Each structure stands twice: as structure tokens, then as C-alpha cells.
Amino acid sequence: MPEENSSAKDRILDAANRLFYAEGIRAVSVDAIASQAGITKKTLYYHFRSKDDLIEAYLASRDQPNLALFKSWFDGTAGALEDKVEAIFLNLANSARHPKWKGCGFLRTAAELANMPGHPAMKVGAAHKRKFEEWLSEIFRRENVASPHETARHIVLLMDGAFSTVLVHRDPEYIEAAGRAARAIVSRAAHHVSS
């Protein structure tokens, strides 16, 4: 029985991931998710007490895979630190060229829940963004980059700005431009000589 329950829960999360990401959290009903998962609404509510719980779980399920993807892009790039940081943006730009790409699920969810700052999904999204910033900050600290925390924050601002702008213009070149700006910031900070 636990394997069956786990399988149903996984199917629900898979369906929520596909539908919430493609259509938005407000546009997708619990009925649509249950139908996509091939389960009853009662089974869905057995695993998730409410749609809000499901939205929170949806974002939580995206956290580690997204962070791992950014790390793999960074680690998989040869060259200097600024090359590796820019590579994250270049890979994002390539992803944005795919017809099913809808931007950052965390930012899109935050926009839909803007009037509900205490929503559990908002906390998951904030934690995800903080983890990415802390990861960059730690790399910058190890590499003796000037002002590692502030430099990491600048990169996060560029990334989230690029995510938002590309949704407005539907042009991945904005992400590439943000990558060039990130490269310049990291290059300056990495080659800064302290007095």
C-alpha cells in the first residue's frame, strides 16, 4: 500500500508540475490535476490537504533540480569564474528558446500570489532564491572575489530581471545581455585588488 500511495503522490506532483508551469497556478483546478494524474479528487486530497499545499509542494519539488541544473552549467564550463557565471545565463537563454519554456516557476508563482505574502509557496520561493544567492556568494568568497555577498546579489538581480524581461519581450537575447553584464560584474570583482 505505501508504494501505491507514493506512486499516486508522485503522479499528482508530476501533473501539478506540468499544469502549473504551463498554465499558472490560478488557471489550473484541482480537478484538472486529478484528471491529469489519473486519480480521483479524493485521492488528491488524501495526499494534499488543499490546493495551497499542492502549490507549495509543486515549488518545493522544483527547488533541488533547478539548483542542480545551475550548478551543472557552472561546473561544466571551462575557464575563469566570469565564464562560468555567464554560462548559467547562456544556458538559460538556450532553454528560453524552447517553445514550452515559461520562465521561472518561482517568480511566476510569486506574481500570482503577490497579494498573499504569507502563503507557504512564497516562503518556498524565497528560500530557493536565497539558496541560489548563498551558493554564488560562497563560490565568490572561496575565489576571493571582492564583496562576495553583494556580487552574488547583483547576479541574482540580473537573473531575475532577465527572467521577467524575457517573458515580456519573448526574446532570449535579454538573458544573454544579462549574462554579459554578470560577466563584467564578476570580472571586475574577481580582479579587484584590495588596498
Condensed to tens digits (0 to 9), the pLDDT of residues 118-130 reads: 999 999 999 999 9
112 shares a domain with 170:
yes
65 shares a domain with 43:
no
35 shares a domain with 120:
no
115 shares a domain with 58:
yes
Q: Which residues contact 40 (CB under 8 A, 6 or more apart)?
A: 34
Tell me which amino acid residue 138 is: E
Condensed to tens digits (0 to 9), the pLDDT of residues 105-122 reads: 999 999 999 999 999 999
109 shares a domain with 138:
yes
56 shares a domain with 33:
no
44 shares a domain with 123:
no
Tell me which amino acid residue 104 is: C
C-alpha to C-alpha distance for 50 and 82, rounded to whole angstroms: 44
In a domain, 195, yes or no: no
89 shares a domain with 121:
yes
The count of structural domains within the chain is 2
Taking the CA atoms of residue 146, residue 140, residue 157 and residue 104 in that order, the dihedral angle to the nearest 10 degrees is: 180
CATH no. for residue 4?
1.10.10.60
Cβ-contact 127, 64 below 8 angstroms: no
In a domain, 81, yes or no: yes
Checking if the pLDDT of 186 tops 70, the result is: yes
182 shares a domain with 119:
yes
pTM for the model stands at: 0.90
Domain that holds residue 2: 1-48
CATH no. for residue 171?
1.10.357.10
83 shares a domain with 171:
yes
In a domain, 16, yes or no: yes
- HEC profile of 128-169: HHHHHHHHHHHHHHHCCCCCHHHHHHHHHHHHHHHHHHHHHH
C-alpha to C-alpha distance for 120 and 88, rounded to whole angstroms: 28
Condensed to tens digits (0 to 9), the pLDDT of residues 140-163 reads: 999 999 999 999 999 999 999 999
